[in-house]
Structure formats: C-alpha cells, structure tokens
Structure 1
Amino acid sequence: MRTVEAEREARWSATLHAHQRRVTRQRLAVLAAVEQLPHATADDAATAVRAELPHITVQSVYVILADLTGIGLLRRIETPHSPARYETRVNDNHHHAVCTGCGRIEDVDCAVGHAPCLTPEWSPGASRMTIQVAEVLYQGLCDDCRPAAPHHPPTHHE
C-alpha cells in the first residue's frame, strides 16, 4: 500500500513531467516544505529545504518557487505588510483570512463555491473583462489577539 507521501510525490512528479520539468530532489523538497508549512514565505521554505539539502541556495529556492507557481503546483499569496507566501492548496477557489494583530493566515472556503465568487460592478466607461477569479482577503483579529485589542468589535464567526 502506498503512503500518502508517495502518492503526493507521484502526483507532483506527473505534473512536473506534464509541464516538461525534470523531477529533481530540489523541486520535490520545495514542494514538501510548502506542503508542511502552509502559507510559507520563501525564507521559511528555504530553511525547511536546507534541513534536507544543506547546499541549496536561497536564490535556487526562489527560482523553484516561481517556476512551481507558474505551472500551478503552488499558489502565491500576497498579503498586506508581509512577504509573498506560498501554499500547495491550488485550484479550489479558497480565500484567506489574515489576523492584523499577529499576522496568522487561515484558509477560508469560498462561500459561493465556484469561481469567480464575486461579480464586479463596472464603472462607467470601464473596459469590461471576463472575470475568471476573484481574490478575497479577509482581515481582522484572531481569537488570541482580540482580547488585547483596545476595542472589541463584535465577532462574526461563520
């Protein structure tokens, strides 16, 4: 019986081959690091990869992250006041909630369940587009940070 890790590595390998990429220890190590550290920064991923491959450079990790994002194995997340982050949860139209106190990021499933989950109201004279994806970023205080905040706004747990 194959382990979950072996199945995941086989899926990653198939996707790499489908995009004319070689399956290398470096690419698999970056994918494994981001899988283990959801919402990892490039530096987080590099530190984790270096535990397995001590001679890999941070620049190599950045190049691999960009390439894996480009072929859809990783998703790059841009949040305010933070370096880019990466995750292996792709192609499922989920969003993110960021705590403005501690910076913690949580996944939030799409309320609508399909992409795009929002339809824009076009400004007069705007050149309209066919929207394929809408990125939603929720910002607020997590349960750990809220008690320390000077004002406790009502919570909306859904």
Structure 2
Amino acid sequence: MHAPADYEQALRDAGLRVTRPRTAVLDAVHRHPHADTETVIDATREVLGDVSHQAVYDVLRALSAAGLVRRIQPSGALARYEARVGDNHHHVVCRSCGVIADVDCAVGDIPCLTASDDHGFTIDEAEVVYWGTCPDCSASSPASSPASSPATEPSPKG
C-alpha cells in the first residue's frame, strides 16, 4: 500500500473519514518504518506544509485504534509507529543507536500466543523485544562486546 488511493480505501475500509492529514500520516508511517512521532510529523509536513503536533497525534491515535498502524514502545524508548499490522511479529532493538527491525515469529504461525499459563486470558497478541547491537554499531566498535559493556538505554533514531 503506497498509493494515495490505497490509503483512502484503507481508511474507508476501517470506517474512518478520508482526510488529507490521515492520508499524509499513513503515507509517512509507510515510508518510515518504526518512526517516532517527530519523524512522522516532519514527513507529514513535507506533504501538507504546516500541521500541528496535536493533529498528527490525533491521527496516529485514530489509525492505531483502527488497526491501520501499530504503536510500539520498547522499554526506555520513544513510541514508534509501523505500518506492518495484522501479523504477530516482534522487534529487535539496538542498545547503542536505538534502530529497530522486524523479527518474524521463530516457529510456525503464532507459537508465541500459546502461553505456558494463560491464567484464563484469551491471548490475541504477544510482544517480544530482542535487544542487542546492530551491525553498524558492532562494526564501529569492535572492541566492545555485550558481556563487557554495560547496558544502555537506546537513543531515539528514526
């Protein structure tokens, strides 16, 4: 989905009114996977010109509620938004630079939805976050290793 007509149809299918801010924000999230809100705002402003922070926040909330985007927030990191929805994938986060990548479930369709004890809950989603060091950060500091360096909070990187 990368054409305005596709975004408009997705909005209609989700029962949302088609507006320029909604299509622009949806496009921004598609073009910038795992983007923080500031990145989405900047990308939206490239298309619409002046748009308020609050308008983008409101659109992101509506798109998330409608299931058109997914809000993720790894521990210690800013909230991020992605267009990959409808599957139960996970994420890997670099402890050094904060970059995030998608990770599919390790085995089968939804093995992570089978909890060892569901305590009576009907489970429909699992959130797994892997932490480590991305290839770029590993290459820039070959002397450090996860065992010898202290864990740090990821820095925002869109």
Place the TM-score, normalised by the shorter chain, in its bin: 0.7 to 0.9
Give secondary structure in 2 for the equivalent of 1:11: helix
1:118 is displaced (CA, Å) by: 4.3
Equivalent in 7, 14, 33 of residue 28 of structure 2: 33
Partner of 1:100: 95
Runs of 4+ in 1 over 3 A off after TM superposition: none
Equivalent in 13, 33, 46 of residue 18 of structure 1: 13
**TM-score when scaled to structure 2?**
0.82
Partner of 2:66: 71
Equivalent in 111, 121, 133 of residue 141 of structure 1: 133
The answer on whether the counterparts of 1:116 and 1:131 sit within 8 Å (CA) in structure 2 is no
> What percentage of aligned pairs have identical amino acids?
46
* Counterparts of 1:88 and 1:110, CA distance in 2: 17
**TM-score when scaled to structure 1?**
0.82
Deviations 1:80-99 (A, max 9, x none): 22111001111122111001
Tell me the matched-pair count: 145
Instruction: Let me know the Cα RMSD of the aligned residues.
Output: 2.0
Q: Which consecutive unaligned segments of at least 5 residues does structure 2 have? A: 148-158
1:145 is displaced (CA, Å) by: 2.0
1:55 is displaced (CA, Å) by: 1.9
Q: Which consecutive unaligned segments of at least 5 residues does structure 1 have? A: 154-158
Q: Which structure is larger by alpha-carbon Rg, 1 or 2?
A: 1
* Counterparts of 1:110 and 1:5, CA distance in 2: 25
The answer on whether the counterparts of 1:93 and 1:113 sit within 8 Å (CA) in structure 2 is no
